[in-house]
Homo-oligomer: A and B are copies of this chain.
Amino acid sequence: MIQLKDVAELAGVSTGSVSKVLNGYAVSPRMKKSVELAIAELNYKPNMVARSLRTKTSNSIGVMVPYTNDPYFMEFFRGVSIGLSEKGKVPFLFSTEPHDEFSAQKMQQIFMRGVDGLIVSTYGWKDSVLEELYLIAEKIPVVSYKRSFPGTAIHSVGVDDCSGMFKAVEHLTSIGHRRIGYIASGLNLDTGQQRLKGYQQALEQAGIAYEDNLVVESAAFQIEDGYNAVQQLLKRFPLPSAIVGANNSVAIGALKFLESRNVKIPEDIAVMGYDDEPLSTLVTPKLSSVSVPVYEMTAKAVQIIEDAILGVHKETINILFPTTLKIRNSTDFSATAAFEFERFSR
């Protein structure tokens, strides 16, 4: 392994001087030149581990994502990754399984490795793991994705789920639906509660009485949970003319069950998702949904981390992003039929 000392020798200068040109401090042009020559000659690469030990920063960020098959993981990670890369930072990635016994341990691992900050999606985390997170947040900046932790040092980026779901349901009432089933997921989470609230407020605004038995709770946020939950809704009488899922996956699960029973969508029953993803345009019919600005959110998360590391933030930051309605064929037969490729573009 060729190291700084070797560069110094070849260039005929001190190691301190080499370090200076490496880190962009003021040096004479002559010195700079000869050092750079030696670096190129030897193909020298600084040892980041030694640098980290000395400077106590690593230019790396811990990222924790849930292990679900949910595609939002992919977009979240992708966004964070692009953002960090632009800032010259490296992601240390950890996946967490919901109810993973080792999440706390993994988080410690990552912390011990000297990351400068943490960006986390805490979906499925147990309280004990969250406790650990609070502790870490006292020491390095932490940004939580789509979930806020009021009263802690944890920053967050999220969306206004109440207004987002309001839009979804308002869309349905605006095209005439009066009996709207709701597949509720994550009612133990603030985000799940806000979505339900949005549903209720939209009904209220349309002058529709809320009916408890049009809301069924799903086991979780996955496709199969929606597939199972929708079956309850089909036992109601009169049948709902529209069904909204608390997220996109449960809506797709519902869609798939209805398809298997030859229910016509949207003619017999309209289906609406929430938290749009590329998959929406690949199912038949294409799923209407409410879209969340993943890229803006992840970019912001990275920005917050960076600022926090630099000590810019004195207060905990909690930002909510707006959502946008995507109307497709699962609620509107006449919606654009052109093949639409939804990509994560920047």
Contacts and interface: CB of A to CB of B under 8 A. Distances in A.
A339 B256 contact: yes
Contact of A341 (B108, B223, B278, B283): B223
9 contacts: A45-B112, A47-B53, A48-B112, A49-B53, A50-B53, A71-B71, A74-B74, A90-B94, A90-B109
Contacts of A333: none
A252 interface: yes
A114 interface: yes
A35 B344 CA distance: 52
A23 B296 CA distance: 44
Given A49-B58, A81-B95, A95-B78, A343 B114 contact: no
Which size bracket describes the interface of A in this complex? 35 or more
Interface string A218-242: 0000011001000000000000000
Contact of A45 (B63, B106, B111): B111
Nearest to A283: B282
A176 to B, nearest CB: 26
B58 A85 contact: no
A224 B343 CA distance: 11
A25 interface: no
Contacts of A252: 282
Contacts of A111: 45
Contacts of A108: 45
Given A279-B279, A337-B260, A92 B95 contact: no
A259 interface: yes
A92 B110 CA distance: 10
Interface in A269-327: 278-279, 282-284
A164 interface: no
A85 B71 contact: no
Interface string A161-189: 00000000000000000000000000000
A63 B260 CA distance: 40
Given A49-B113, A279-B279, A344 B69 contact: yes
Contact of A282 (B58, B81, B279): B279
A110 to B, nearest CB: 7
A60 interface: yes
A52 interface: yes
A343 B97 CA distance: 14
Contact of A284 (B113, B257, B284): B284
